[in-house]
Amino acid sequence: MKSTKKNNSRSTNVYHITYSREHSVGCLYFWGCNLRCKLCLLKKEAFDCHLPETRLRIYDPSYESERPTRFLTLRKLMLLLDPLSLKQIVLMGAEPVCDPILPRILAFLKQSKDCSFVLLTNGRKFPPLSMVDEVIFSIKAITPALHRDYTGVDNKVILRNFTEIAASKSVSLHVETVFIPDYVDEDEVLRIADFIASVDPAIPFRIDAYLPIQGLPWRAPQAHEIQSLAEKARCMLPNTSCLYGDEGKTELAYEVERIF
Ligand code: SF4
C-alpha cells in the first residue's frame, strides 16, 4: 500500500488538461520531446489553442508562448480526471511517448474510464500500441536532409515505425503534416503523400497550414494554396483533408475548458 502511494506521488510529464463537456473528450498535454523542430508549434502556443484566453493570441505574429512550469503527479492527475465523464482521451502536447510513466498513466485510465485513447506522436519512439485505439502520426518530411534540418534527426526509424504500425492493423492510423511554403513545400508534402500511399492508400492524411513563429523566415500558406495541394494529394490518398486558420473569425463548434 505504501509503495502505491509513493508511486502515485511520482511526477508525470503532464502540464495541461482541457475538457469538452459537450463531447466528453479530455486532452492531456505532455511536455518533453525527442525531436528538436525549429518550427515547433509549442513555441507559438504550448497550451490548448481552443481556450478563450489562447484562441486569438496565436494569430499575433509577435506572440511567443510561455513554457510550462507545473507538472502533475500521477495522484493529482487521477484526482482531476476522476469526476469527469470521458468518452475519449487524447494524449498530445509535445511527445507523450517520452513520458517514462505513460504506460502507468494509461493502465490507470483504462482501469477507471471506459473510453477510447488517441495518441498524437512524432513516431520516433515506438508507441505502446496495445494501450491505444488511434494513432495520429506526424510526418515532418521524407527527404532525409530536409528532415535533419527541420528536426535535428534522421527519419529512417520514424518511417520504419510508421510502416510497422500500419502493418500491425491494431489501431486506427492517421497522418498529419505541416505545409510550410519554401520549406516543407508542395513537392515535399506530395512526397509524404506518396510514401503514405505506398504503405496504405486508405490512410487518412491531414495537411495543416504553418502558423508563422517569431524569428523564423517562413510565411503561412494562403487558403487557395493549401486547398490546391490537398486536391493534388487526393490523387494518391483519397482521404486527404486540410486545416488552415481564419484568424479566429469562425466561432468554435463547442466550448473547451481548462482543467489544469
Ligand atoms: S515533434 Fe512536435 S513537439 Fe516535438 S519538437 Fe517537433 S513540433 Fe515540437
Distance 33 CA to ligand 1 centre (A): 6
Provide the pLDDT for residue 44: 86
> Whose C-alpha lies nearest to ligand 1, atom 2?
94
Q: Which of the residues in the chain have pLDDT under 70? A: 1-6, 247-250
136 lines ligand 1 (CB under 6 A): no
Helix (H) or strand (E) holding 243: strand 240-243
Q: 122 C-alpha to center of ligand 1: Å?
A: 7
For residue 83, the CA-to-ligand 1 centroid distance in Å is 31
Atom of ligand 1 nearest to the CA of 42: 8
pLDDT given for residue 78 in this prediction: 93
Query: 179 phi and psi, to 5 degrees?
Result: -90, 120
> In which order are the strands placed within the sheet that holds 240-243?
240-243, 205-209, 172-179, 134-138, 116-121, 88-93, 25-30, 14-20, 257-258
Residue 77, amino acid: L
What was the pLDDT predicted at 6? 59
Q: Which three cell numbers stand for residue 139?
A: 510526418
> Count of alpha carbons within 13 Å of 242, Cβ hemisphere only?
24
Joined together, the cell numbers standing for residue 16 give 495541461
Atom of ligand 1 nearest to the CA of 151: 6
Ligand 1 pocket: which of 36, 38, 40 to mutate (most atoms <8 Å of CB)?
40
- Per-residue confidence (pLDDT) for residue 252, from 0 to 100: 74
DSSP β-bridge partners for residue 92: 29
Largest alpha-carbon pair distance within the chain?
A: 60
The CB of 230 under 6 Å from ligand 1? The reply is no
Task: Name the residue at shortest CA distance from atom 8 of ligand 1.
Answer: 40
**Ligand 1 binding pocket includes 42 (Cβ within 6 Å):** yes
pLDDT of residue 154: 98
Which residues in 11-131 belong to E strands, given as ranges?
Answer: 14-20, 25-30, 88-93, 116-121
Does any ligand 1 atom lie closer than 6 A to the CB of residue 153?
A: no
Domains of the chain, each with CATH number or no CATH? 133-251 (3.20.20.70)
